[in-house]
Amino acid sequence: MAVEASQAVRRAVLRALEEDGRASYSQIAADLGLTRRLVTHIVQQAVANNEVRLTVSISPDLLGLERFAYLQVAVEGAVDPVRRALVALPESTFVADVAGVFPIDVEVRVGADPHLSRVLGEIHEIPGVRSVRTHLYESIEVNRYSPLRTGHTDFEVDEADRAIIAKLQRDGRASYRELGEASGLSAGGARLRFERLRRARAVKVVAMPVRDHQRETPSIGMGIRTRAGDDHTLRLLTELEPEFVARTIGSFNFVATFSRESAAELIAVTDRLRAEPSITAVESWANLRVLKEQYGEGDMVSVRGAAAGTGAA
């Protein structure tokens, strides 16, 4: 017999997996007052329909990434060549078609200077790029789909760790037996290695939405300027359950991303922020189509310690 669930129930289950892609189905069921069978069905259906992918994101520190920027790209002429060039850029982690003055927005993650200057120069040289408005991240405060920077710049991995991460990139819920087979370890050894990576926040297993083909209500990006009390504004932003928040240097004090189940809910978020006395301006844009959303996936060659073999169980 088919198991059906309301949209609210489906969203609650998938939201739990966005926080922890390896969360126990039994625990999710207990927390939400559901059956394990229903939770399993919801997740399997979402994966089969390509609504989510269970994968692992890698800490920026582990990849040697030090600087981050959010770019709004103005285009003259055909947009598609610019779009394809930005998606192909190794340093881009997020690319979206946007409703507004700037038709494309991009997040880039780079190493030490002058890497960012070089990447910005490459983007400016893409035929069709008219201008780029740049917002440097001072700090990333919330990122639902990626580990935050931890300061563990000396944390290194060996080939067994790398094999475990690579397996999790393909299947975020791979069993410890499967992780052991991929890495040449026992199931118990693979569990210890994964727990070490997780405790250090070197990796985060998530249910990543596949948004390039969906027709649901789009997510919205926001640039927020504040009069004072940035910590107060950050608390407010966090209470509104964003996907992403960064303190920024440039035109905005914060850049944030929100997603909801309906346009009315998104309007409520923007109304709440515009009513806040400490906020002087809110600029918003709709992410109509997410073209790329990738936080370290497929980038194992950049993981620190690859050749050193310095990881420990």
Domain boundaries, the chain: 7-49, 147-208
From residue 234, how far is each of 135, 141, 222 by CA, in Å? 17, 8, 13
Domains 7-49 and 147-208 share a fold: yes
Whole-angstrom Cα distance, residue 119 to residue 308?
Answer: 28
Q: Which of 217-231, 269-283, 284-298 has the highest mean pLDDT?
A: 269-283
Peptide bond into 114 cis (omega under 30): yes
Which pLDDT value is given to residue 241?
93
pLDDT, mean over the chain = 89
Residues 6+ apart with CB under 8 A from 82: 73, 75, 104, 126, 127, 128, 129
Right CATH number for 147-208 from 2.60.120.10, 1.10.10.10, 1.10.287.110, 3.30.56.10? 1.10.10.10
Helix, strand and coil percent figures for the chain, each rounded to 5: 35, 30, 35
Other CB atoms within a 10 A radius of the CB of residue 74 amount to 15
**How many Cα atoms within 13 Å fall on the side-chain side of residue 217?**
12
Cα first-last separation, the chain: 45
Mean pLDDT of 239-250: 94
How is domain 7-49 classified at the architecture level of CATH? Orthogonal Bundle (1.10)
Whole-angstrom Cα distance, residue 196 to residue 294?
Answer: 23
Give the CA angle between residues 102, 79, 252 to the nearest 5°.
20
Which pLDDT value is given to residue 199?
92
Percent of the chain with pLDDT over 90: 70
Whole-angstrom Cα distance, residue 154 to residue 149?
Answer: 13
What does the pLDDT look like over 8-33, one tens digit per residue? 899 899 999 988 999 999 999 999 99
What does the pLDDT look like over 173-188, one tens digit per residue? 999 999 999 999 999 9
What does the pLDDT look like over 198-242, one tens digit per residue? 999 899 999 988 876 555 557 899 999 998 668 899 999 999 999
Whole-angstrom Cα distance, residue 111 to residue 203?
Answer: 18
Give the 3-state DSSP-derived string for 239-256, with helices as H, strands as E and coil as C.
HCCCCEEEEEECCCCEEE
